[in-house]
Amino acid sequence: MGVVVLRRGEVSSVQKKGRPTKNQGPTQTPSTDTGQLLCVQLEKNSRDLGFSLEGGADSNLGNRPLTVQKIFQGGPVDKMYPGDEVEEIEGVSVVGMRRMEAWTLIRKLPPGPVDVVLRRPLKNLET
């Protein structure tokens, strides 16, 4: 079972609870000089969202952002790229989380649509 992106939109602002508000337009605006925030909606199957993570708090290489390491076959290859930083999963900030904490969060989500906020580094924007 693969991951299907149902909707993609721009992250325009963050509300008080940290949940992004999304515009339905296809364009994204660079949020900072370190990359661009965007929101993708992925379809969770019974196990995962179609990608693996690396980094996180207390990783082997020190405290690093959680980043997309690999897109699985049938995964969201047209919406995510290796190196994209994962900021939020279904309204929950994963900034500062350990990789296993983020995977536990993903595993506990029911199958169906899941909003994921990414920060795309400038190097990924050029591809």
Question: What's the pLDDT tens digit per position in 89-108?
Answer: 999 999 999 999 999 999 99
Question: What is the residue-averaged pLDDT of the chain?
Answer: 78
Q: Considering only CA atoms, which of 48, 24, 34 is closest in space to residue 121?
A: 34
> Within a domain: residue 119?
yes
Q: What is the pTM of this model?
A: 0.71
The domain that holds 53 is classified in CATH as 2.30.42.10
Is 64 a domain residue?
yes
DSSP count for the chain of H helices, then E strands: 2, 8
Residue 57 maps to a domain? yes
Consecutive H or E run containing 37:
strand 36-44
Count of domains in the chain? 1
- Contact of 2 with 46, CB cutoff 8 Å: no
> pLDDT tens across 110-119, in order?
999 999 999 9
Residue 116 falls inside a structural domain: yes
Asked if residue 58 is part of any domain, the answer here is yes
CB neighbour class for 50 (10 Å; exposed up to 12, middle 13-18, buried from 19): buried
Instruction: Please tell me the predicted confidence (pLDDT) of residue 8.
Output: 45
Q: Is residue 7 part of a domain?
A: no
Q: H or E element: which one contains 108?
A: helix 99-108
- Does 112 fall in a domain? yes
